[in-house]
């Protein structure tokens, strides 16, 4: 077996020639690939080799010999330690170009897709303070009370005073909750010993409504000094309409437990995306960037090309966000989702908007949709917005069998998007166009909306 031309702890000089899908720089040493985080294409760096495998290795920048004009100074003081962002060191227009390239590369490499127009990524005018939801883990270090996001690829909490991608109001509320909890001596959660009380500080903010919800995730049912929270928080922040406690007594990385109770105010806050209103509970799924969500959903609506009489199936409908956008223009929308609570929210959101042409069912899309077909329901358009793992293969076979005129695929993972588009193309559809949308500025993540037509 040929040995790599470098070994661990070697110091090498390398020119970065490309990006990897996670935003790392890609360099070649005698044809051998090195992935170098925080290095940009066009840069020459001196790097220390950290790990080698047969075909590729990893290295860390020691110093920059030549820097890219796309490099900027990250404004966040803890960038590089906190794992929340990966691209703050990249000029924003270059971030958008990178995300388009990630989609193009996945289409070519994974999907073998030819002739698909991948449009330039739609970015934000203000790519900061866009997250309407944040859950900050709580802990301690050297006896000190801390709260912040995890370090990359670890469960080490990086103490944080401010977050530049969290909504400004939400950020202020988190810091005030942190102050009250710390001053009150509420024991922070100890993950290793499974002791302490407060596990997470959560906040949700309605971008349009301005309403806010505080979520306190605790290990114990008892929340010491709860009166301080329900007295001091609404007094300082009149935008707060709900303070909720979620109890998670389990030794787990999952944030939420089964029990949720309202300590003060309402059970929900309200917000809207475009003309559609949504009730948001502590555990509701709701897109974290409502500004770009509207852009994404309007693109999905454009691709659906509805004139008023069509039947549409939304195969991963969640709480009905895309379904209700489509229901404004469709004759009938059928939504299916495996999570019962999400379907309850979807029905409530339909009622909230007075939309009577949207019908929702609980179950797996690949089981429910064939049943609808047996009942005589024929979809003109099928919309899918699956989790990162992509569509279930049985659902893709169902779509191929139903042969709708158009398929609109909304994806948060270009790799599984490309894989699934290949299957649909082999089943008689043609991918016409794809539109990347930057839902998560300063991070490596990219959303994409693709249009397929029946051949």
**Catalytic residue set:** 412
Cα 293 to chain center, whole Å?
11
How many other C-beta atoms are found inside a 10 Å radius of the C-beta of residue 221? 11
Residue 354 burial class via C-beta count within 10 angstroms: exposed 0-12, middle 13-18, buried 19 and up = exposed
The 144-147 sheet, strands edge to edge: 144-147, 133-141, 198-205, 212-218, 240-247, 259-265
Residues 271 and 208 sit within 8 Å (Cβ to Cβ): yes
Cα 155 to chain center, whole Å?
19
The token pair that represents 299 in the structure block? 């693109």
- Which 3 state secondary structure label does DSSP give 293? helix
CA distance 369 to 40: 46
Residues 131 and 164 sit within 8 Å (Cβ to Cβ): no
- Helix/strand/coil percent split, the chain, to 5: 25, 35, 40
CA distance 395 to 384: 10
How many other C-beta atoms are found inside a 10 Å radius of the C-beta of residue 29? 19
DSSP-derived letter for residue 24 is -
């Amino acid at each position: 077996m040929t040995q790599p031309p470098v070994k661990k702890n070697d110091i090498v000089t390398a020119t970065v020639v490309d990006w990897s899908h996670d935003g790392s720089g890609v360099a070649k040493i005698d044809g051998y690939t090195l992935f170098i985080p925080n290095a940009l294409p066009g840069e020459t760096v001196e790097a220390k080799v950290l790990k080698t495998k047969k075909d590729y290795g990893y290295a860390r920048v020691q110093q920059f010999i030549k820097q890219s004009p796309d490099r900027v100074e990250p404004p966040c003081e803890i960038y590089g330690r906190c794992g929340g962002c990966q691209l703050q060191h990249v000029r924003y227009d270059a971030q958008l170009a990178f995300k388009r390239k990630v989609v193009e590369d996945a289409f070519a490499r994974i999907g073998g897709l030819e002739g698909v127009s991948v449009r330039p990524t739609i970015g934000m005018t203000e790519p900061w303070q866009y997250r309407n939801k944040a859950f900050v883990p709580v802990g301690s270090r050297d006896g000190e009370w801390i709260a912040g996001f995890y370090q990359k690829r670890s469960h080490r909490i990086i103490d944080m005073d401010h977050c530049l991608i969290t909504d400004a109001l939400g950020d202020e509320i988190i810091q005030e909750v942190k102050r009250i909890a710390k001053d009150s001596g509420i024991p922070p959660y100890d993950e290793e010993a499974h002791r302490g009380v407060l596990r997470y500080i959560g906040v949700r903010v309605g971008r349009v409504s301005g309403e806010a919800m505080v979520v306190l995730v605790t290990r114990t049912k008892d929340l010491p000094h709860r009166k301080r929270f329900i007295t001091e928080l609404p007094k300082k922040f009149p935008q707060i309409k709900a303070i909720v406690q979620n109890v998670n007594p389990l030794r787990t990385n999952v944030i939420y437990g089964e029990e949720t109770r309202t300590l003060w105010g309402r059970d929900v806050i309200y917000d809207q995306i475009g003309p559609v209103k949504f009730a948001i509970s502590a555990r509701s799924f709701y897109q974290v960037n409502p500004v770009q969500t509207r852009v994404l959903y309007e693109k999905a609506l454009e691709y659906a090309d509805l004139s008023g009489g069509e039947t549409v199936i939304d195969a991963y409908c969640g709480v009905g966000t895309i379904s209700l956008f489509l229901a404004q223009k469709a004759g009938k929308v059928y939504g299916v989702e495996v999570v019962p609570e999400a379907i309850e929210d979807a029905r409530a959101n339909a009622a909230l908007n007075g939309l009577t042409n949207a019908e929702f069912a609980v179950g797996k899309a690949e089981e429910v949709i064939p049943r609808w077909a047996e009942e005589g329901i024929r979809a003109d358009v099928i919309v899918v917005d699956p989790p990162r793992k992509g569509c279930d293969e049985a659902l893709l076979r169902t779509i191929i069998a139903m042969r709708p005129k158009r398929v609109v695929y909304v994806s948060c993972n270009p790799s599984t998007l490309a894989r699934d588009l290949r299957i649909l193309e082999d089943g008689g559809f043609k991918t016409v166009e794809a539109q990347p949308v930057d839902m998560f500025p300063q991070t490596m993540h990219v959303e994409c909306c693709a249009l397929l037509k029946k051949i």
